Amino acid sequence: MVWITRERPKIDRLACPWLILRFIDPVATVLFVSESEVLTQAQALGATPFDVPGVEYTHYEDRCTFDYFLQKHTLTDPALHIMAPIVRGADTDDHGLAAQAAGLWAISAGMAFNIEDDQALLTQGLVLYDALYSWAKHLQLVKHTQSPTERLLLEVLHTYLRSTSKRKIPTWVSELKHAIQDQMDTNLTLSLTELAESVAVNPAYISRTFARYFDDLSFGDYIRKLRIDKALHLLATTSYTLTEIAYLTGFSDQSHFTRIFKKQTGQNPSAYRKQRRKGKADTKG
């Protein structure tokens, strides 16, 4: 089978061919062409296009094409599902999804910079994702620092970090919390860069230290938590539809809202609302 996508691959367009060749079709051919030619070449060659807008194998909401391949082909290998948020985080610049996402992006960007031929890049990408798969399947619990001396040094480091964790919270943290809260009701696309400018602090520094002062959450996770908190309030106190609540809390659509809500609370928003209403009725009875 022939698969075709845009030229100059970096993350999804290397991870997906790896997935195809290793788990779906070992003799597949993968072609890279200019974006404007993908669909016409796919039709001419009888190839399946992927990771371009308007085709089946592509991004859906906050999931990348790699996620869709796993779902479409019912790939249940746990290692692949450990890899999925790493690939998604690197491909969507949401590095808070997995600790390894930023590293995967850095290596992939460097490979693309060094290798101009896309087929040669794919060859190296197969090596990269073979290694990531082996780590996910066999090596997650293996630590690089194994010697007693290194462990002792790490104990000293963590003792120091604990002693400094009680340091005074910077003024900008309180200002940023107020700025986020002020904008939650009026700005559905909160920008870390714009918020950083409002408190006169470098956005890269805020991004790097954000979790330290905001419930051990990345900026994206913290904003999602606030949006879910707002949704809980709206579900309990209004008769708005789920679509309306999704819009008012900044989610792209009701499906996206429902998925994130269930991930955060363990139940669907409709079930939460019914439970609240039943609880009130029982109290009145």
Torsion angles phi and psi, residue 33, rounded to 5: -135, 170
Please report whether residue 45 resides in a domain. yes
Q: Does 190 lie in the same domain as 120?
A: no
pLDDT tens digits for range 242-255: 988 888 888 878 88
Question: What is the reported pTM?
Answer: 0.54
Which pLDDT band holds residue 148 (cuts at 50, 70, 90)? low
If you average pLDDT over every residue of the chain, what do you get?
Answer: 87
For residue 268, being part of any structural domain is answered with yes
Do 19 and 101 reside in the same domain of the chain?
A: yes
Q: How many whole angstroms separate alpha carbon 194 and alpha carbon 42?
A: 41
Mean pLDDT of 118-127: 96
Residue 149, in any domain of the structure: no
Please write the tens of the pLDDT for every residue from 96-112.
Answer: 999 999 999 999 999 99
In a domain, 153, yes or no: no
pLDDT value for 149: 66
Q: In whole angstroms, what is the distance from residue 151 CA to residue 162 CA?
A: 16
Q: Which CATH number belongs to the domain containing residue 268 in this structure?
A: 1.10.10.60
Full domain range(s) for residue 94: 2-139
Is the domain of 122 the same as that of 177? no
Q: Are residues 135 and 176 in the same domain?
A: no
Task: Describe the crossing of helices 101-114 and 118-134 by its angle, rounded to 10 degrees.
Answer: 150
Q: Residue holding tokens 């949401």?
A: 94
Nearest to 11 by CA among 60, 59, 48, 46: 59
| Among candidate residues 2, 19, 3, 22, the one with its CA nearest the CA of residue 11 | 19
**Domains held by the chain: number:** 2
Structure tokens at 231: 């949704």
Q: Closest by alpha carbon to 17, among 33, 29, 35?
A: 29
Same domain, 176 and 261: yes
Q: Is the pLDDT of residue 265 over 70?
A: yes
Looking at residue 170, its pLDDT comes to 81
Residue 46 belongs to a domain? yes
**Residue at which a domain ends, from 85, 119, 139:** 139
